[in-house]
């Protein structure tokens, strides 16, 4: 497999974390335009720990995930009673604030005579842990997908359990769930923390894959894209968001047929797809049909 294909596949994996985090929130009834901020938090935190302080990547990743969870929890707390578009706009505002803060963030250390670290709008270059430790592209791809598989396994387990039913219940009808004794706020905050951790994991892996990050990478486009992937792929299962990502980045970027017209084609396909299937390809009905077919 050539380097370019490996790169495309790795990108699919990385963005899948982001799409999964948007999906998790959608299931619990919240539409978030702001997951890109936690992706960014993970990227900056993880990158700083490895590039500036020599931390090993696994440890930095864990720390980044914790920070992402905390950040999304802190955004979720004041917005608990917001619904629908109000919640979405609040997350958008929070994410844009985060992006601007990244633009204003200058924090560098002198290492071997060179400044290393985030430099505001100039970005954060030199996140070279992967190269310094001789990890090959194929190896990194394996790591990304191994972690993604773990996340998926967790999702699939939860979806079959009572927790999964509770989540979907809160998403469909919070009042009903509350009347059944569910602590809706606790569920929402838990979901927020999990989604933040997931997005941050994607972010730290992205930073180390790209070796360079800048605030512009974490703008609204990324956020709305990840929401779109979750919706297009389908809200019936955690595999849905992955399908969405694979469709856009994988199929269309991988194939050079649509060079220069990719977004026009993809945009049109998405709009048409949503007319046919408003809840995505792998929506609840499709998943039910598949389960019956194969059991």
Partner 1 sequence: MAEATLFLILALLPGLALAQAPKADLECRSTGTDFVYDCTIRVTRGGKPLEGARITVGADMPSMPMAHNIKPVKAQPAQAPGEYRARLDLEMLGVWAVKLRLAGPVRDQLILHYEFDSKGASPAHR
Partner 2 sequence: MTDLAQNTLDGLFLGSSYALLALGFTLIFGVLRRVNLSFGPAVMFGCYAATWVHLNFGAGLVLLAIVTVLGSILAGAYVERLCFAPHRGGSAIAAMVASFALWMQFEELATIALPRHVYDFPPLHGGAPLAFGALTLRVESLVMLLAAVLVCAFLWWILYRTRFGVAVRAVIDQPQAAQLAGISVPRIFMLTFALASAIGGLAGFLIASSHEQVTPMLGMWSTMKGLLAMMLGGLGSLPGAVLGGLALGLLEAHSQWFFGPQTRDLIAYALLFILLAARVPWMTTRSAS
Residues near partner 2, by CB under 8 A: 26, 31, 78-79, 81-86, 89-90, 92-94, 96-97, 100-101, 103-104, 220-221, 224, 227-228, 231-232, 260-264, 266-268, 270-272, 274-275, 278-279
Tell me how far CA of residue 58 lies from CA of 65, 103, 180, in angstroms: 11, 27, 41
At 242, list the tokens: 């992955």
Number of H helices, E strands in the chain: 14, 4
In the complex with partner 2, the residue whose CB is nearer, 6 or 89, is 89
Residue 111 site contact among partner 2, partner 1, none (CB < 5 to 8 Å, cut-off depends on kind): partner 1
Q: Could you list the residues that contact partner 1 (CB under 8 A)?
A: 3-4, 50, 54, 56-58, 111-112, 114, 116, 121-122, 125-126, 128-129, 131-136, 139, 142-143, 146, 210-212, 214, 216-217, 219, 221-222, 225, 249, 253, 256, 258-260, 262-263
In the complex with partner 1, the residue whose CB is nearer, 18 or 25, is 18
DSSP 202-224: HHHHHHHHHSEE-GGGGSHHHHH
In the complex with partner 1, the residue whose CB is nearer, 12 or 28, is 12
Q: Where do we find the tokens 């194969």?
A: 294
Residue 254 site contact among partner 1, partner 2, none (CB < 5 to 8 Å, cut-off depends on kind): none
Q: Where do we find the tokens 């935190």?
A: 45
Q: How far is the CB of 54 from partner 1 (least distance, A)?
A: 5
Q: What is the DSSP letter of 250?
A: I
Three-class SS string for 107-165? CCEEECCEEECCEHHHCEECCCHHHHCCCCHHHHHHHHHHHHHHHHHHHHHHHHCHHHH
Nearest to 16 by CA among 202, 146, 250: 202
Query: CA-CA distance, 202 to 76, in Å (whole number)?
Result: 20
Residue 57 site contact among partner 2, partner 1, none (CB < 5 to 8 Å, cut-off depends on kind): partner 1
Query: CA-CA distance, 25 to 164, in Å (whole number)?
Result: 12
Residue 89 site contact among partner 2, partner 1, none (CB < 5 to 8 Å, cut-off depends on kind): partner 2
In the complex with partner 2, the residue whose CB is nearer, 54 or 268, is 268
Nearest to 42 by CA among 172, 209, 161, 159: 209
In the complex with partner 1, the residue whose CB is nearer, 204 or 222, is 222
Residue 90 site contact among partner 2, partner 1, none (CB < 5 to 8 Å, cut-off depends on kind): partner 2
In the complex with partner 2, the residue whose CB is nearer, 4 or 261, is 261
Residue 264 site contact among partner 1, partner 2, none (CB < 5 to 8 Å, cut-off depends on kind): partner 2
């Amino acid at each position: 497999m050539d380097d370019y294909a490996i790169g495309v596949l790795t990108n699919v994996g990385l963005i899948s974390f982001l799409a999964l985090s948007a999906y998790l929130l959608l299931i619990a009834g919240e539409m978030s335009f702001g997951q890109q901020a936690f992706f960014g938090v993970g990227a900056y935190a993880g990158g700083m720990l490895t590039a500036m302080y020599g931390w090993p990547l696994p440890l930095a990743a864990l720390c980044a995930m914790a920070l992402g969870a905390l950040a999304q929890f802190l955004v979720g707390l004041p917005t608990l009673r917001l619904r629908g578009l109000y919640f979405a706009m609040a997350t958008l505002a929070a994410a844009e604030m985060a992006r601007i803060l990244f633009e204003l963030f200058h924090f560098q250390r002198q290492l071997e005579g060179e400044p290393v670290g985030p430099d505001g709008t100039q970005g954060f270059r030199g996140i070279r842990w992967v190269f310094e430790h001789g990890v090959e592209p194929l190896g990194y791809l394996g790591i990304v997908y191994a972690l993604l598989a773990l996340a998926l396994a967790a999702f699939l387990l939860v979806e079959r359990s009572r927790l999964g039913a509770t989540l979907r219940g809160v998403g469909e009808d919070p009042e009903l769930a509350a009347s059944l004794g569910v602590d809706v706020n606790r569920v929402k905050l838990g979901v927020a923390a999990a989604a933040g951790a997931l997005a941050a994991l994607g972010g730290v892996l992205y930073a180390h894959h790209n070796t360079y990050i800048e605030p512009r990478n974490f703008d609204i486009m990324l956020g709305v894209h990840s929401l779109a992937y979750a919706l297009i792929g389908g809200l019936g299962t955690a595999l849905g968001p992955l399908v969405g990502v694979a469709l856009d980045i994988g199929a269309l970027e991988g194939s050079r047929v649509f060079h220069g017209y990719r977004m026009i084609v993809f945009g049109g396909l998405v709009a048409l797809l949503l007319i046919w299937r408003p809840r995505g390809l792998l929506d609840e009905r499709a998943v039910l049909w598949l389960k019956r077919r194969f059991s």
